[in-house]
Structure 1
Amino acid sequence: MADPGPAKRPDRAPSAATPPAASPYDPLLRGPAYLVAELMKLIRREAAGTLPGAERMRPPAVLVLACVAAEGGLSQRQVSERLRMDPADVVSLVDILEESGYLERRRDPADRRRYRLDATEDGRLFLSRRREASRRLNQRLFAPLSPQELEQFTDMIVRVLARHDSRFAEFGPPCAGADDTPA
């Protein structure tokens, strides 16, 4: 006789940790915030295989590098302010970028109390490869959308972000030239 399974056996009730199956049309599962969170999970999974291991770097570190490469000569505090990142997080990310040879941290000759950050040639080459990988990732992820739909989707995301974050008010990246680098 076949086992009726845990749900059918009187001695085993369904686990409280297992949620009941929900319809894909459940309002909770159709909410924009939930869908954006699921999209982010998809992006992280897909991005993990985009670059070889030596080229992988967390998106916040890439964003710091892109900001420094675009503007150069910034202090860690300026990067923190432009990207709205905690200063301690920026220091850790700068450490990673410096160890990778992508960024230089030197005393600012104009103010010896602060460090000046500059992207290295290796850092600029890394960003170039990362931008190309990001372009390919975006093509793959958003292939179901027509070019017009993708533009409209992007515009809608920017409108929502601009409502809550002035950096997106003119559809500009946090730092000039940092377009879609982090993905």
Structure 2
Amino acid sequence: MDDTAQHGAEPYRLDDQVGYLLRLASQRHAAIFQSQTIEGLTATQFAALVRLSEHGKCSQNQLGRLAAMDVATIKGVVDRLRQKGLTLAEPDPGDKRRMLISLSPQGAALVARMKDAGARITADTLAPLSPTEQRSFLRLLAKLS
């Protein structure tokens, strides 16, 4: 029995599969991001810094949730950002076992420059789409997320 008879639909084609297409789009975006990144930041570092600028001082775990990163990933990201002098860590006055993460003055200045770069990266990533398609695409991606 072929794929069409088994599933009652079109035959399976990799080029029509959501995971494959999302991966290709993600690779395209990653290449654009890397070509325009500021100070060698990774996409995860970029996201963490922007979330800190939006939400202010927070715990490492909260930052991970805000930036959609697991515990191990956010720990590495925070460690590297601190090593670069972009974030500060201080004990939580309410729980001395917990550290609160915030932007350093250098980190805050970098975020201001990064937001413009982020907008250009998004525009370049979405450039093959019309403005209407861009809005629809972003709305649909948000729905999937």
Task: Give the TM-score of the pair, scaled to structure 1.
Answer: 0.66
Partners of 2:37 and 2:49 in 1: CA distance: 17
Structure 2: stretches of 5+ with no match in the other structure: 1-11
Aligned to 2:50: 66
Q: How does 1:95-106 map to 2 (within 5 A)?
A: 95-106=79-90
Report the RMSD for the aligned CA atoms in angstroms.
Answer: 1.8
2 CA distance for matches of 1:96 and 1:87? 14
Counterpart mapping for 1:149-160 below 5 A: 149-160=133-144
Matched-pair contact (CA < 8 Å) for 2:33–2:43: no
Q: Could you tell me how far 1:138 is from its partner in structure 2? A: 2.0
Match of residue 25 from structure 2? 39
Give the corresponding residue for 1:143: 127
- The structure-2 alpha-carbon separation of the partners of 1:72 and 1:157, relative to structure 1 and needing over 3 Å to count, comes to same
Flag the 1:73–1:134 CA change in 2: closer, same or farther, 3 A.
closer
Alpha-carbon distance between aligned partners in 2 of 1:118 and 1:156, rounded to the nearest angstrom:
32
Q: What is residue 30 of structure 1 aligned with on the other side?
A: 16
CA contact (8 A) 2:53 2:108 kept: yes
Match of 2:63 among 73, 79, 87: 79
Identity %: 24
Q: How far does residue 140 in structure 1 lie from its aligned partner after superposition?
A: 2.0
Larger radius of gyration: 1
Give the superposition deviation at 1:89: 2.2
User: Of Structure 1 and Structure 2, which has the larger fraction of its residues in helix?
Assistant: 2
Equivalent-residue separation in structure 2 for 1:82 and 1:136 (angstroms): 23
The corresponding residue for 2:75 is 91
How far apart, in 1, do the equivalents of 2:74 and 2:36 lie?
24
Provide structure 1 residue ranges, at least 5 long, that are not aligned to the other structure. 1-25, 162-183
Per-residue CA deviation, residues 138-167 of structure 1 (Å, 9 max, x unaligned), is 222222222111101111111122xxxxxx
2:77, 2:86 → 1: CA distance? 11
If asked which structure has higher relative contact order (CA below 8 Å, sep 6+), I would say: 1
Consecutive aligned runs of 4 or more in structure 1 exceeding 6 Å deviation: none
